[in-house]
Amino acid sequence: MSRRAFLLALPLAALAAPVLAEPGLDVTIYADNQALIEDRRVITFTGGRQTVEFRNVSAQIRPETATLSAKDLAIIEQNFDYDLLSPAKIMENAVGQTITLVRTNPATGAETRETATVLAANGGVVLQIGSRIEVLRDDGLPVRVIFDKVPPNMRAEPTLSMNVQGTAGTREAALRYLTPGLGWRADYVALFDEDRQQIDVQGWVTLTNNSGTTYQNANTLLVAGTPQLIGRGGRSNLGSLIEAGTESGTRERLGNFYLYPLAEKTTIANLQTKQVSFLDVNGVPATHGYEIQIGWLQNSTVPLNVATTYQFSSSARGGLGDQLPAGVVRFYLRDKRGQPQFIGEKAIPHTPMGSRLSINTGDAFDVKVQPVMESRTRVNSTRWKTAMRYSVSNALPKPVKVRVVQNGLWGDTRLVDPSQPEEWKDATRAAWLVEVPANGKTDLTVTFDSRY
Amino acid sequence: MRWLAALPVALGLAGPVQADDIAASEPRDLSVTIYRDPGRGGGGQISLERLGGFAVITETRTVTLPPGKHRLRFVGVVDGIIPESAIVTGLPGGVIEKNRDAALLSPAALFRAFQGRSITLKRTSRATGKAVTVPAQLVSASPDGVIFRTAAGEEALRCTGLAETFAYDRAVEGLSARPVLSVLTNASRTVTAEIKLTYLAEGFDWSASYTAHVDGEGKALDLGGWITLANGNSVSLPMARTQIVAGGLRREDAARLRSAMAPVTINCWPQQRTHQVPRKPERPYSLVSPYREPEEEDEYLQESNIVVTGNRMLRSYDAAAPAMVMAPPPPPPPPQAEQLGDLKLYRLPEPTTIAARQMKQSRLLDKPGVTVEPVLDLQLSAFDSGAPDEVGKVDAPNAARYTPVTVLRTRNDKANGLGLPLPAGQFVVQQEQSGRTLPVGQPALRDTAEDEKVELRLNAAIDIAVERRTVRTARRKQWQQLRLSSARSVAATLEIRFTNSASMRFDFGKDVETFRRDGELVLRLELAPNSKRELAYTVGWD
């Protein structure tokens, strides 16, 4: 709602105290679709009981969270009126009262006026006109209904009103409330340079306003720390955050939250998406790799796509040097003509500074792994030997390294004669870094001796 | 729709001109890279009604900025834009903030914007056609109805049976015909800059469509491929450098901003008439659907509406049908795949215009004389779970009959006439059979790298029957029997693949060829023309 609409709407609420100005608006937006609004206005108090109305509050205000604070002010009662004005409501309210009917002659257009009393508005409107009873527009002919006045408790928009008593004088009062409909997340643009093995990263704060209200010239503060789930689970359950960091940044903190204040006052219009830059780092070392997780006893007759991953750090030393609010990282790569092309995106959680990140941007077209169970023999009732072969193929004209992870090694499972030494990721996962020559194939073979 | 196209101009003239509002030029250079729907799998067709892919669009525009702070507007971006993905480069003063306003000009938005403001009420007499205008104030507009105030008092809009509407004296700032992308920037002196705007947009898709003509013996095929790309947006991309990207890249389903305002509906007070018996009288009146008087004009309007819609649908089908059936003539050389990280990028040979709501085809490849091996393929579980418990029950009713599937097998290498990346797509395989070309299958292909095996699964070979029964079982052993029959006049190769066979011991006796492949035991048999064959073997396990 623009300020002009607000001023024009004032005559409708003649009883309310005039609100003089808006000295300030603070908007604090949390990452979970929640915002704290502090609306500071100058109000003239009469010294007696009076009603203060706030009309241009968020249309989605949570009224139970609203508080008004000013010096020498006592709040008697707080009302949130959302009995919205509508033709049905106004007619219901007119029961027992007098309305004016204007009938239009369909043939000539001539108008005749009558006064009627509304007897009932159940299903249809029953009127008393003089001594006869009539159903409104029962004959289907045009009839205008004119109401003398709108009942004062009905509003054109949700309105917060407060019954207050304060010592006489003009002073500032602050209204604070929570509202949904405002939210933010981060969006990252990462440009990977294959030759230098570096990334340039830009971080943008994206805030969205669906609250139904425009916030004019607001001091805006964004708070990170409330985890927000973005999107559904992806095609791989590899977490992007592979090592949580321990460094403290220079960002302002509040308890467990990081604060991102916007440098300038800004207007957050209704139905607007706004982006402000908060990170711009060039030439951060990054590595590119391949990874695939194989399930226990997984046999495939076709080669499986491996995930292509990009790893980098958020550390101040050799990394982005900042904590990263939850958001989506979009990866770009320059094509042969130098134009950046999109190669995939991944959501990341709130990431402390000093963390290591591995971003899975999707499937590799040319690098695949086919897991094949060669044999499975019973040694005794609790012991089996399973021979696996992982055929790693590479159709690229350069050698690659693929991390093959075997999942599900529960119980006492030992590795017999692996074709290359393994590395245990945890008790149930063994990993190998398999080197594959250009346009070539490498077979990784291992036998699992599992006892239950 | 013509009046709608004229609206932005009218807005620009009527609205108060803000000094800091500058529009960038129309795009001078356009580049579009189209990505396929990641959820579509290998096959599937794309439909203009529901495009799940996306595109990255790069526009080069010029702008002249006087000194000061400016809101730079980009008009004519694709409507499927994902605003948070937009990147603006080349601005000397950098980007202070980016905005995307989705408050669109609509009847409901006008109602909302003029709530509490002055409007003009216009009533037209149905008898004389004369219009009367009355100054009024719009009191309230909501999903429950519209109320206005005139000198006489409060009234509800269109509850009267009269033809009445509002006229607004001017358009409202902040409402636009399309979502508008803008950036806030600073200029220290007057500059003319060439800026690049790059963004992701939804409502695009592409797919590879392959046609394979198999020779009579089924040992060679001529392979052709089309790139079918589609733009479901209402914005055209004229003379765009066009690329497509193949490979399974990852996309997140981040929440998108709703761009619609809450609707304003014309609702009235209860309007039941005496002949209308309420269906459920005890329910509150507000649940009674709003009364609408049947009028001759309305009926006429409805009828003509139906005719118009029908015409439109027919036309759109007419327009779409030839595009799908008649492929454009192949341009000189099909594009070479270019490596883009771990994906494949194809450039269309020349810039092309991708019109709004258009499907377009371009040649992907032509590979005549690809050698293939036709094999009849059948997959069986090594353990026959339908075997009877009792021992020695020959001809028990547990026999199961299977029909193998014809598979064309080859390897994606130079020796077989291929040797190039094959993006995932839908095949249409046709074969010459007794002088006619018949469709024999529509298999899907996954993303296939060089030197990878290719298997095209065609229709079931209904003239070949395979019957399996278990004639005897022991604690850790099954005596199984296969009966094979071929009604074909030519010899055929049958491969029976036994799955879950890693821990099974097979004994086929001598003279039967078996081998292990891809973790399965494969039994390979040559079937003579019009023949029957029986095979007895045992399956044991620990």
Name the pairing type of β-strands A215-224 and A19-30: parallel
Phi-psi region of B218 (alpha: psi -120 to 50; beta: other; left: phi over 0): left
Say whether pLDDT at B30 is over 90. yes
CB within 8 Å: A366 and B421: yes
Distance in Å, alpha carbon of B490 to nearest chain A alpha carbon: 29
Instruction: Tell me the chain A residues in contact with residue B341 when contact means C-beta distances shorter than 8 Å.
Output: 192, 194, 288, 308, 333, 343, 361
CB within 8 Å: B449 and A366: yes
Lowest mean pLDDT among A343-352, B52-61, B291-300, B522-531: B291-300
Instruction: Tell me the chain A residues in contact with residue B449 when contact means C-beta distances shorter than 8 Å.
Output: 365-368, 393, 395
CA dist A397 and A440 (Å) reads 9
Distance in Å, alpha carbon of A107 to nearest chain B alpha carbon: 5
The predicted-structure confidence for A36-76, as pLDDT tens digits, reads as follows 999 888 888 888 888 888 877 887 888 888 888 888 888 88
Say whether pLDDT at B314 is over 50. no
Residues A204-228 as b or e (16 or more Cβ within 10 Å = b):
bbbbbbbbbbbbbebbbbbbbbeeb
- Residue A17: the pLDDT is 45
Mutating which of B40, B69, B140 best tests the A interface, going by the most A Cβ atoms within 10 A?
B140
Higher pLDDT, A207 or A432: A432
HSE-CB for A27 with a 13 A CA cutoff: 32
Instruction: Tell me the chain A residues in contact with residue B245 when contact means C-beta distances shorter than 8 Å.
Output: 341-343
Which residues sit opposite A102 in a β-bridge?
A113, A144
Instruction: Tell me the chain B residues in contact with residue A218 when contact means C-beta distances shorter than 8 Å.
Output: none
Confidence band, pLDDT 50/70/90 cuts, at residue A88: confident
Considering only the beta carbons, identify the residue of B249, B452, B519 that sits closest to A361. Answer: B249
Say whether pLDDT at B273 is over 90. no
Distance in Å, alpha carbon of B310 to nearest chain A alpha carbon: 33
Considering only the beta carbons, identify the residue of A87, A342, A361 that sits closest to B269. Answer: A87
The predicted model scores a pTM of: 0.78
Q: Nearest chain B Cα to A272, which residue?
A: B101
Mutating which of B343, B503, B520 best tests the A interface, going by the most A Cβ atoms within 10 A?
B343
Confidence band, pLDDT 50/70/90 cuts, at residue A405: very high
**CA A385 centroid distance within chain:** 49
Considering only the beta carbons, identify the residue of A144, A155, A308 that sits closest to B155. Answer: A144
CA dist B81 and B32 (Å) reads 13
Token pair, residue B153, equals 């008092």
Mutating which of A113, A157, A298, A342 best tests the B interface, going by the most B Cβ atoms within 10 A?
A342
Instruction: Tell me the chain B residues in contact with residue A203 when contact means C-beta distances shorter than 8 Å.
Output: none
Say whether pLDDT at B309 is over 70. no
Percent of chain A at pLDDT above 70?
Answer: 89
The predicted-structure confidence for B443-470, as pLDDT tens digits, reads as follows 999 999 999 999 999 999 999 999 998 8
CB within 8 Å: B273 and A138: yes
Considering only the beta carbons, identify the residue of B142, B286, B449 that sits closest to A84. Answer: B142
Considering only the beta carbons, identify the residue of B130, B267, B281 that sits closest to A88. Answer: B267
The predicted-structure confidence for B85-132, as pLDDT tens digits, reads as follows 888 888 888 888 888 887 778 888 888 888 888 899 998 888 788 888
CB within 8 Å: A335 and B258: no
Residue numbers of A between 411 and 440 with CB closer than 8 Å to B = 439
Residue numbers of A between 198 and 237 with CB closer than 8 Å to B = 202, 204, 206, 208, 210, 212, 230-232, 234-235
For chain B, the farthest-separated pair of C-alpha atoms sits apart, in whole angstroms, at 107
Instruction: Tell me the chain A residues in contact with residue B243 when contact means C-beta distances shorter than 8 Å.
Output: 335, 341
Average pLDDT over residues B317-325: 41
Confidence band, pLDDT 50/70/90 cuts, at residue B347: very high
Q: Nearest chain A Cα to B277, which residue?
A: A123
CB within 8 Å: B200 and A342: yes
Instruction: Tell me the chain A residues in contact with residue B103 when contact means C-beta distances shorter than 8 Å.
Output: 269-272
Instruction: Tell me the chain B residues in contact with residue A393 when contact means C-beta distances shorter than 8 Å.
Output: 449, 451-452
Q: Please provide the size of chain B in residues.
A: 542
Say whether pLDDT at B290 is over 90. no
Token pair, residue B365, equals 């490849």
Q: Nearest chain A Cα to B379, which residue?
A: A301
Lowest mean pLDDT among A136-150, A371-385, B416-430: A136-150
B314 touches chain A (CB under 8 A): no
Average pLDDT over residues B136-144: 85
Residue numbers of B between 503 and 522 with CB closer than 8 Å to A = 503, 516, 518-520
- Residue A286: the pLDDT is 95
Which residues sit opposite A253 in a β-bridge?
A258
A to B CB pairs, distance under 8 Å: 325
Say whether pLDDT at A437 is over 60. yes
Distance in Å, alpha carbon of A249 to nearest chain B alpha carbon: 23
- Residue B284: the pLDDT is 39
Higher pLDDT, B432 or A83: B432
Average pLDDT over residues A344-364: 89
CA dist A342 and B56 (Å) reads 7
Considering only the beta carbons, identify the residue of A149, A155, A372 that sits closest to B519. Answer: A372
- Residue B286: the pLDDT is 35
Token pair, residue B70, equals 């400016």
- Residue A326: the pLDDT is 84
- Residue A389: the pLDDT is 96
Confidence band, pLDDT 50/70/90 cuts, at residue A349: confident
Average pLDDT over residues B482-504: 92
Q: Nearest chain A Cα to B542, which residue?
A: A378
HSE-CB for B389 with a 13 A CA cutoff: 0
Distance in Å, alpha carbon of A345 to nearest chain B alpha carbon: 5
CB within 8 Å: A386 and B58: no
CB within 8 Å: A273 and B83: yes
The predicted-structure confidence for B294-306, as pLDDT tens digits, reads as follows 344 433 333 333 2
Cβ contacts of B413 within 8 Å, gap of 6 or more: B419, B450, B451
A81 touches chain B (CB under 8 A): no
Q: Nearest chain B Cα to A120, which residue?
A: B270
- Residue A438: the pLDDT is 95
Token pair, residue B405, equals 């599937």
Average pLDDT over residues B31-37: 93
Considering only the beta carbons, identify the residue of A206, A235, A271 that sits closest to B102. Answer: A271
For chain A, the farthest-separated pair of C-alpha atoms sits apart, in whole angstroms, at 106
Distance in Å, alpha carbon of A411 to nearest chain B alpha carbon: 20
The predicted-structure confidence for B389-419, as pLDDT tens digits, reads as follows 554 444 555 678 899 999 999 999 999 999 9
- Residue B124: the pLDDT is 86
**CA B330 centroid distance within chain:** 25
The predicted-structure confidence for A217-274, as pLDDT tens digits, reads as follows 899 988 876 544 333 333 333 467 777 777 776 666 666 677 888 878 888 888 888 8
Confidence band, pLDDT 50/70/90 cuts, at residue A291: very high
- Residue A81: the pLDDT is 67
Higher pLDDT, B307 or A292: A292
Q: What is the ipTM of this complex?
A: 0.77
- Residue A296: the pLDDT is 93
Confidence band, pLDDT 50/70/90 cuts, at residue B328: low
Distance in Å, alpha carbon of A168 to nearest chain B alpha carbon: 31
Mutating which of A273, A372, A436 best tests the B interface, going by the most B Cβ atoms within 10 A?
A273
